[in-house]
């Protein structure tokens, strides 16, 4: 298994990426080979500085960098030797089994759509977040930002995508899929969720359990929570705001500690023809490490192939 990572992306490149990679390689051992993509000299310098061993990694040189503030769609084609573009090139050729990065999110999305492309039949690829369940494990919520306006059939597909992700990466058998709504009854909601509910209610594509509400976000009654990207993004940032207050107030609690995004590291882009994983631009080394472990799980679960098959 070969996992590529963009070393030049994120607010603390290259060091946070390198430290995270060193830690991940230790955990992965011979199960996976990390492929570090970026400016070779910088990468080697950072590995040495951070007490790593250059020989533990494969390094693929890329001379250019797409900056965090650069316009994704314009910059991506103009910088073919950027670490992101080189990473997608390797991914497309099958030279890596997954490509992970914490750089310019837009460029990672553009790279996904332009290079490996959306899976035929998937209307809108999307991204996820995890919400810790009160009784252990996590709820997977999608979409959380790439699709602010959704049609009912897009939400329906999120149900399929989330279910496959939960099954093949989190190893949840027959994951329970809920539609985020503002009431339990079928007829509740806005026009979007009312129509989506009708599409979902008798589906055989996933295990639909009905509407769930804001109060169920951390509940064990569901595994996958489907919503439009606007709602998902607000929910995600509200959870982050809450966690920020928990930390600020010095509360150390086993459950609330699990809201730390560093423990999860990132999200796959669901619905594209290869395994792409993105993380926060401000990722710590721990977050980068966990993004790489997630990337391994995604590649091991063969997620993009499983999705392709489901939509075939």
- Binder among 44, 216, 262, 305 for a copy of itself (CB under 8 A): 216
Q: Is residue 255 at the binding interface for a copy of itself, with CB under 8 A as the rule? A: yes
**Across the strands, what pairs with 179?**
211, 226
Who contacts 289 (Cβ-Cβ below 8 Å, separation ≥6)?
Answer: 20, 21, 23, 24, 27, 265
CB of 13 to a copy of itself, least distance (A): 23
Closest CA to 4 of 89, 97, 115: 97
Q: Does 185 bind a copy of itself (CB under 8 A)?
A: no
Asked if 54 interacts with a copy of itself (CB under 8 A), we say no
Length of the chain: 312
Side-chain-side CA neighbours of 292 within 13 Å: the count stands at 34
- Which residue, 101 or 232, is less far from a copy of itself as judged by CB? 232
Sign (positive or negative) of CA dihedral 299, 146, 181, 257: positive
Residue 198 interacts with a copy of itself (CB under 8 A)? no
Residue 261 contacts a copy of itself per CB under 8 A: no
Q: Does the protein bind a copy of itself through residue 76 (CB under 8 A)?
A: no
Indicate the residue among 26 and 237 with the shorter CB distance to a copy of itself: 237
Tokens 């209307």 belong to which residue? Answer: 123
**Does residue 178 interact with a copy of itself by CB under 8 A?**
no
Strands 98-101 and 128-132: unpaired
Only segment of 165-173, 196-204, 224-232, 290-298 that touches a copy of itself (CB under 8 A): 224-232
238 near a copy of itself, rule: CB under 8 A: yes
Closer of 94 and 250 to a copy of itself (Cβ): 250
* From 83-91, 199-207, 229-237, 267-275, span contacting a copy of itself (CB under 8 A): 229-237
CB 64 within 8 A of CB 78: no
Candidates 111-119, 151-159, 203-211, 238-246: pick the segment binding a copy of itself (CB under 8 A). Answer: 238-246
CB of 126 to a copy of itself, least distance (A): 14
Binding-site member from 44, 58, 70, 240 for a copy of itself (CB under 8 A): 240
Interaction of residue 136 with a copy of itself, rule CB under 8 A: no
**Which helix or strand (DSSP H or E) is residue 58 part of?**
strand 58-61
First to last CA, the chain: 25
Which one of the spans 67-75, 85-93, 166-174, 185-193 is the region binding a copy of itself (CB under 8 A)? 185-193
123 and 164 Cβ atoms separated by less than 8 Å: no
Report the 10 Å Cβ neighbour count for 281.
Answer: 16
Q: Does 158 bind a copy of itself (CB under 8 A)?
A: no
241 part of the interface to a copy of itself, by CB under 8 A:
yes
| Among 43, 85, 86, 180, interactor with a copy of itself by CB under 8 A | 180
- 3-state helix, strand and coil shares in percent for the chain, rounded to the nearest 5: 45, 15, 40
Q: Which two tokens stand for residue 312?
A: 């075939």
Give the separation between CA 141 and CA 276, rounded to whole angstroms.
Answer: 18
Q: CA 242 to CA 236: how far, in whole Å?
A: 10
Contact call for residue 135 and a copy of itself (CB under 8 A): no
256 in contact with a copy of itself (CB under 8 A): yes
Binding site for a copy of itself (CB under 8 A): 134, 145, 148-149, 180, 182, 189-191, 193, 213-219, 227-231, 233-242, 244-245, 248-249, 251, 253, 255-256
């Amino acid at each position: 298994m070969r996992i590529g990572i963009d070393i030049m992306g994120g607010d603390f490149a290259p060091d946070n990426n390198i430290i995270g990679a060193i830690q991940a390689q230790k955990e992965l051992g011979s199960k996976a080979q990390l492929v570090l993509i970026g400016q070779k000299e910088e990468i080697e310098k950072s590995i040495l500085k951070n007490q790593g061993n250059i020989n533990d990694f494969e390094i693929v040189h890329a001379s250019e960098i797409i900056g965090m503030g650069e316009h994704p769609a314009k910059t991506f084609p103009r910088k073919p030797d950027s670490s992101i573009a080189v990473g997608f090139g390797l991914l497309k050729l099958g030279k890596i089994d997954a490509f992970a990065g914490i750089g310019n999110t837009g460029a990672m999305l553009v790279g996904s759509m332009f290079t490996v492309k959306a899976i035929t039949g998937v209307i809108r690829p999307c991204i996820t977040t995890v919400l810790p369940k009160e009784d252990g494990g996590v709820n997977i919520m999608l979409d959380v930002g790439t699709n602010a306006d959704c049609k009912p059939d897009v939400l329906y597909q999120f149900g399929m995508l989330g279910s496959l992700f939960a099954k093949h990466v989190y190893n949840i058998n027959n994951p329970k899929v809920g539609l985020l709504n503002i009431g339990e009854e079928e007829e509740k909601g806005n026009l979007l969720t009312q129509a989506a509910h009708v599409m979902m209610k008798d589906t055989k594509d996933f295990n639909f359990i009905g509407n769930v509400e804001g109060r169920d976000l951390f509940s064990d009654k569901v595994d996958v929570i489907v919503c439009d990207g606007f709602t998902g993004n607000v929910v995600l940032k509200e959870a982050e705001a809450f966690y920020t207050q928990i930390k600020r107030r010095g509360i150390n609690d086993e459950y609330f500690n699990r809201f730390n995004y560093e423990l999860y590291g990132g999200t796959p882009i669901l619905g594209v023809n290869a395994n792409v994983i993105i993380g926060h631009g401000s990722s710590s080394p721990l977050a980068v490490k966990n993004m790489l472990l997630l990337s391994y799980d995604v590649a091991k679960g063969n997620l993009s192939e499983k999705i392709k098959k489901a939509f075939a």
